Structure 1
């Protein structure tokens, strides 16, 4: 319904597709369908992700695998399917949503599995940026604490601790990330590839 609303309000063609990001075949099928429907495919934003907080000694193999499958493997499968199209077209653009947790260890929560999945994503972007430089760019955006449902799962006490650790003493509103994604997806960043753009209100600086 949202796709139909966007199409009607803006007089554009807009369609919604669905795939399980842990299933490479489903992703491949969906992206190929996009090409059939629109004639080309130009930008992939790999934004699917989950967060969970397990003490490292208690995290089960299934819990660890699920974290990696969604956050890292899913991004890789999506990028791989997109790259096949981009290589044939001769151009394309990939933006991964990583996290400030890729470059630091958050406290007081325990989330080694999540941190590792996001750190892997940043390194994946760097590697693909070099390997695919002839036909696409690959960059990361690493948000800090964003006021979404994911953050809302934590207690107010924990969120208050985080706010005190951000120099601005507030968390980011989702709309404040728009400019970064538009920049990375557009030709305004035409010479940028393999970068990790950290947007955390200064949280990682002190």
Structure 2
């Protein structure tokens, strides 16, 4: 679809499952070489094997993306494996549901470190590589939760996702001298392994609140991220796109029923 991506190298944090795995698969099918950063080795191995079985190229590195030294090691591993870094997909994130009455300061810090601090660290670590190459692309996985909507138990998650959007506005200006863009994808309800575990009734209830009457796929998010990574999107930076099937549009459930 986009010839400008063939042969490039992308790091996908949190790329071993869920949305990250979907992004990695979409990019790999366009000829992008994939480095998956993840904590769980078996999931990472499985994701790499799936990409290779589909005709792509991939490797993995076990990494805590909230740790500066480990992030630097991730980039070294990527260059050792593929010789360059062109694209960063800052996707790693956790979303433990816990209301503020039960939420501890440590719980808050863990989500902020994994979701928001890691975005800063991975972008910072890529800067010398983008500067040397004379170009780069960063795609951040944010969310509608926080920037647009709220949900009980996700105050920490929502704050981290809003923080990512604040980060990309200034980061876009600081990355511009390196001919590097940074943009964000904001998923709505996407069908992942964790969501599927909640049961069919839950999934049907969620889909009923979405104008397109279905949950999104991980490929839906991957395709949006893919566009931001292309040469064709070279004049777009510091922006975000909602990918939610129209979920945030209705004023109320009555509006859905009127459809």
Corresponding residue for residue 203 of structure 1: 247
Corresponding residue for residue 213 of structure 2: 169
- Is 1:137 paired with 2:181? yes
Q: Gaps spanning 5+ residues in structure 2: where?
A: 1-44, 251-259
Judging by fraction of residues, say which structure has more strand: 2
What is the TM-score when the length of structure 2 is the normalising length?
0.72
Structure 1's 50 and 9: CA in aligned 2 closer, same or farther, altered over 3 A? closer
Corresponding residue for residue 169 of structure 2: 126
Partner of 2:62: helix, strand, or coil? coil
Answer with 170-179 or 154-163: which moved more.
154-163
- Is 1:115 paired with 2:155? no
Indicate conservation of the 8 Å contact 1:94/1:185, yes or no: yes
Structure 1's 13 and 114: CA in aligned 2 closer, same or farther, altered over 3 A? closer
- The partner residue of 1:50 within 94, 97, 105 is 94
- The partner residue of 2:120 within 76, 100, 113 is 76
Partner of 1:99: helix, strand, or coil? coil
What's the offset of the Cα at 1:42? 0.3
Corresponding residue for residue 37 of structure 1: 81
**1:171, 1:14 → 2: CA distance?**
28
**2:88, 2:208 → 1: CA distance?**
35
- Is 1:101 paired with 2:145? yes
Corresponding residue for residue 254 of structure 2: none
What's the offset of the Cα at 1:131? 1.3
Structure 1's 5 and 63: CA in aligned 2 closer, same or farther, altered over 3 A? closer
Structure 1's 106 and 34: CA in aligned 2 closer, same or farther, altered over 3 A? same
Corresponding residue for residue 26 of structure 1: 70
**1:78, 1:197 → 2: CA distance?**
21
What's the offset of the Cα at 1:73? 0.8
Indicate conservation of the 8 Å contact 2:59/2:81, yes or no: no
Corresponding residue for residue 134 of structure 2: 90
Answer with 63-72 or 26-35: which moved more.
26-35
Indicate conservation of the 8 Å contact 2:115/2:160, yes or no: yes
Point out 4+ residue stretches in structure 1 off by more than 6 angstroms: none
What's the offset of the Cα at 1:62? 0.8
Partner of 1:94: helix, strand, or coil? strand
Q: Gaps spanning 5+ residues in structure 1: where?
A: none
What's the offset of the Cα at 1:52? 1.6
Partner of 2:246: helix, strand, or coil? coil
What is the TM-score when the length of structure 1 is the normalising length?
0.89
Structure 1's 8 and 176: CA in aligned 2 closer, same or farther, altered over 3 A? closer
Indicate conservation of the 8 Å contact 1:102/1:122, yes or no: no
What's the offset of the Cα at 1:18? 2.1
